Structure 1
Amino acid sequence: MENGGFPWLFVYAFNEFTRKYHWQMLDLNHSTWHAIPEMPSMHHLCPDGLRCVSIPKEGTIFVCGVVFTVFDIPLNLVMKYEMSTNSWSTMLKMNTLIPFSAESGVIGGNSPNLFEPNFYIVLDVEGKWQPIRNLGEKIGLYDVAVMEDMILIKRAPASPNYDVPKGYVFYTRTHIWGYYFSLNLRKGWIGSSIVVLGHLFVLSEAVSERTRLKVFDEKTDSLKDVIEKNPFPDHVICRPFSISCCDDMIFVVGLDLRVAVGNIGKISQDQDQVSNCDQSCGFSVNWEVVDAPRNSDFLGFKPYNSHILLN
C-alpha cells in the first residue's frame, strides 16, 4: 500500500442495529476509504469484548479479547493485522479476557462478570504474555493514554451521583502500579485522551465547553484550554468519538465515520498574551474535516477503535 508517505487511518466500527462491523482504512493523502479483509470467524463479534493496540511503524494492529454474541462465549484470542500483507493471523491466546490497550503494550484482566479486570498481563515486544503485579482493585470502564514510560488509566465512575473517576499509572520500566502523582489526574478526566508532543490532551465530549480540546499543565496541575484557530466541527463530527494521533496531528472519528484532523502547534509566550486567553497553555489547534466520499453503508456506524499506521 502506497500513499505518498502519508499515514493511514484504520477504524473499527460497529452498527448496533444491523449487528454489522467493519474495518475500514482512510487514505489521508487521497481522502478515500478502503475496506480491509474481515477478521477470521468474526460474524458474531461483540465490540465491547475487545480492545485494540497498534504499532504504527510496523504497520500492525492487535485485536485482543474477542467475545462472540451468539453464545456469549469469550475467546481469549489475539488477532494480528499486517498492513504489508493486508491480512489477518491468529496469535497466542491470552490468559485474560478484557484487555487494556496502550501503545507500549496491552494490560488485561479477568473477572467473573467479564467487565472488571482483577489481574493483569502485558504483551511484550516479542509477542509473549507476561504477568505483572496486581493493582489490588477492580477498574471497570476506563480510558488509557501513554506518556513516556507511564500508562495512564482512568476508571470511569459506576454512578456519577455516588462515585468519582480515578486515575492510575502503570510504570512500564518497573512494572509498578500507583495513583497518578497529579492530584487532578488522580481524580480522572472526562473525555477522550491522547498524548501528542509529550503532553496529555483531552477532547471533551461536552458541547457546552467553550474550548473542546484541553492540555494538562504539570506546573499548575490542571487542564487548560488549547487555543482554537477555528472551532471543533460539532456540526459534522458527532459522538461517540474515537481518537488517535500521529506526530503533531490528532484524528477524531465520529458517528458515520466522519473524520476531523486537528493540527497541534506550539505558540510563543507573546502569542499567548495576544490571544487574551488566560487558560491557554502554549498550544493551538487548527481543525479540518476530511472531505472523503461518503458511503451510505457507514450510516449509523459507531467507531470503537481507530489507529494510525505508517507505510
Structure 2
Amino acid sequence: MRRVRVSSLQAPVHKLGDSQMKLTPKFRFGTAALSPTLSVPVIADPNTSPEPPVELIPGLPDDVALNCLLRLPVKSHLSCRLVCRQWHNLFSSKSHFFTLRKTLKLQSPYLFMLAYHRCTGKIEWRVFDLTHLSWHTIPAMPCRDHACPRGFGCVSLPELGSLLVCGGLVSDMDCPLHLVLKYDVYKNKWTVLPPMLSARSFFGGGVIAGRIYVAGGYSTNQFELNSAEVYDPVKGMWDPVASMGIHMAASDSAVIDGKLYVTEGCAWPFFSSPRGRVYDPKPNKWESMAIGMREGWTGLGAVYDNRLFVISEYEMMRVKVYDMESDTWDPVDGPPLPERVKKPFSVSCLEQQGRIVVVGRGLHIAIGHVERCFDFSKSSCNKSFSKANYAIRWEEVEAPHEFSDLTPSSCQILYA
C-alpha cells in the first residue's frame, strides 16, 4: 500500500472564517452561559403590575412555536437572535439548540469533513448542512501541528452526535500516535479520550453495536501491525481483541452485517493480489476476505442496504456493488462520479435516505441518490427468483472558492 505524503514547506494560506470571506455563521457558540429555560428571569418592581409573558411567536402556543423555530437552519441564527430576548436565548447557544432538537427528534444530517491545506498541510474541520446546503465550522481540533491528515482513523456514532479521531502520524518524524479525540455536537467541543493500546496510523476501523473497532496500520518505524482493539464508550476504555493473523495496513474498511471488513487496497499495476481480513466480534475471530471481494475492492466504498458500494478508481470512477452470495461485483446503472469531484476524495453514506456522499478536492461534493429495483428471471430449475439491481444519479454541490486549497482526508455524518 502506498501512503500519501503531505508537504508543509510552502507559503501559508489565510484562515477560513476571516472577515473577507463570505461564509455562513460558525457552529461555535458564544461564551455567555445560557439559562436552562428559554426565558430570561427579570427582577420585578414591587410598585408595578407584572407584565404578561412574552410569546415566542405571537398567536401560537410556545410548544408549537418552539417546534417551528428549532427547524430554522444554522445560517439564519445570527439574525434570529436580534428578534427578541427569548429568541436570543434559543439561538445563542448551539449546545442548547441541538439538545432541544434531539429531545423533540428533529435531528437532521450534517457532513463533517477533515480537510487539510495542500500547501501548508494545516488541518481543519468543515461542516456541510445536508438539508439546507450551507457551510459551517467547528472549534479547531487539538492535535500536533505536523500531523499527517491521512494517518488518522475517523469513525462516528451518528445518532449520538459523536465523532472520534484516532491514532495518526507525526509527519516530520514518521511517529505514530496513540491519540483519541472526541467531538460532541451537543457540547460543540473536543475532549481527549483514553489513548489506544497501540500507536497506529493508516489503519481500518468501524462501529459495531455501538463499539469502536480499530485494526492493523503502521507502528513505530513503519512496521505493519497485526493487532486490533475495541473501545467501549460506556466503560470508557480500550480492550484488545483477536489478532488479525497477518501484518497489514488498511486503505479502506467497512462494517457489513455486523462484521468489520478491512482491505489494504490496490495499487496499479497489480503486482500482487491485495489482502483483506474480516472480523466477527461474536466469536472474536478473524478470517480471510473472499477472493472476489478483495480483488474487486478497487476504490473507496460505503455501505447501503447492507451492501458494499465502491467508486472504482480503475473503472472510470463508476460505481459497483458487491454481491456476497456469488462473490462478484455488479455495475450500478448511471453515470460515473462527476468530473468536478477530483481525487483524492472521501466517501460516506446516508443509509436511511439512500444517498452516497463523496467529497473531492476543493471540497466539491457529489451526492449520489441510489435507487433499488428487482430483476425477476428464471433459474435453470425453471423457478423464478429476483435479484436486486441498483441505479444511481448524481447531484453536484459546488464549494466556495475559498476552499480551493483544501483536500479532504475523511468525511463522517452526524445527526443534530
User: Are the counterparts in 2 of residues 243 and 253 from structure 1 also a CA contact under 8 Å?
Assistant: yes
Q: What secondary structure, in the 3-state scheme, does the structure 2 residue paired with 1:129 have?
A: strand
Alignment-derived partner of residue 274 in structure 1 = none
Alignment-derived partner of residue 171 in structure 2 = 69
Alignment-derived partner of residue 181 in structure 2 = 79
In structure 2, runs of 5+ residues without a counterpart are 1-26, 28-69, 74-105, 378-386
Alignment-derived partner of residue 284 in structure 1 = 391
- How do 1:1-311 residues align onto structure 2 when only pairs under 5 Å count? 3=73, 5-98=107-200, 99-104=203-208, 105-109=212-216, 111-114=219-222, 116-126=224-234, 127-156=236-265, 160-180=269-289, 182-187=290-295, 189-206=297-314, 208=316, 212-228=318-334, 231-247=335-351, 248-269=354-375, 281-291=388-398, 293-296=399-402, 298-311=403-416
Return closer, same or farther for 1:233/1:226 CA change in 2, 3 Å cut-off: closer
**How far apart are residue 232 of structure 1 and its match?**
3.2
Return closer, same or farther for 1:115/1:6 CA change in 2, 3 Å cut-off: farther
Alignment-derived partner of residue 276 in structure 1 = none
Whole-Å Cα distance in 2 between the matches of residues 184 and 193 of structure 1? 15
Whole-Å Cα distance in 2 between the matches of residues 28 and 47 of structure 1? 24
Return closer, same or farther for 1:263/1:33 CA change in 2, 3 Å cut-off: same
Select the structure with the greater relative contact order (CA < 8 A; seq sep ≥ 6). 1
Residues 99-108 or 238-247, more deviating: 99-108
More strand by share: 1
Identity of aligned residues (%): 32
Amino acid at match of 1:288: E
CA RMSD of aligned residues (A): 2.4
Amino acid at match of 2:302: I
Whole-Å Cα distance in 2 between the matches of residues 6 and 44 of structure 1? 34
Whole-Å Cα distance in 2 between the matches of residues 260 and 223 of structure 1? 22
**How far apart are residue 72 of structure 1 and its match?**
4.7
**How far apart are residue 57 of structure 1 and its match?**
0.4
User: Are the counterparts in 1 of residues 245 and 286 from structure 2 also a CA contact under 8 Å?
Assistant: no
Return closer, same or farther for 1:11/1:125 CA change in 2, 3 Å cut-off: same
Q: What secondary structure, in the 3-state scheme, does the structure 1 residue paired with 2:329 have?
A: strand
Q: What secondary structure, in the 3-state scheme, does the structure 1 residue paired with 2:146 have?
A: coil
Amino acid at match of 1:204: S
* TM-score where L is the length of structure 1: 0.87
Q: What secondary structure, in the 3-state scheme, does the structure 2 residue paired with 1:268 have?
A: strand
Whole-Å Cα distance in 1 between the matches of residues 186 and 175 of structure 2? 32
Amino acid at match of 2:246: E
Whole-Å Cα distance in 1 between the matches of residues 349 and 266 of structure 2? 26
User: Are the counterparts in 1 of residues 176 and 219 from structure 2 also a CA contact under 8 Å?
Assistant: no
User: Are the counterparts in 2 of residues 242 and 253 from structure 1 also a CA contact under 8 Å?
Assistant: yes
Whole-Å Cα distance in 2 between the matches of residues 125 and 255 of structure 1? 33
**How far apart are residue 207 of structure 1 and its match?**
5.7
Whole-Å Cα distance in 2 between the matches of residues 234 and 190 of structure 1? 18
* TM-score where L is the length of structure 2: 0.66
Q: Deviations over 1:60-91 (max 9, x none)?
A: 11111143335554431200000111110101
Return closer, same or farther for 1:160/1:95 CA change in 2, 3 Å cut-off: farther
User: Are the counterparts in 2 of residues 205 and 239 from structure 1 also a CA contact under 8 Å?
Assistant: no
In structure 1, runs of 5+ residues without a counterpart are 272-279
Whole-Å Cα distance in 1 between the matches of residues 365 and 349 of structure 2? 12
Whole-Å Cα distance in 1 between the matches of residues 223 and 362 of structure 2? 27
User: Are the counterparts in 2 of residues 192 and 243 from structure 1 also a CA contact under 8 Å?
Assistant: yes
Return closer, same or farther for 1:207/1:17 CA change in 2, 3 Å cut-off: farther
**How far apart are residue 28 of structure 1 and its match?**
1.4
User: Are the counterparts in 2 of residues 241 and 252 from structure 1 also a CA contact under 8 Å?
Assistant: yes
Return closer, same or farther for 1:233/1:158 CA change in 2, 3 Å cut-off: closer
Q: Deviations over 1:128-166 (max 9, x none)?
A: 211011122111233101001111111235784532212
**How far apart are residue 201 of structure 1 and its match?**
0.8
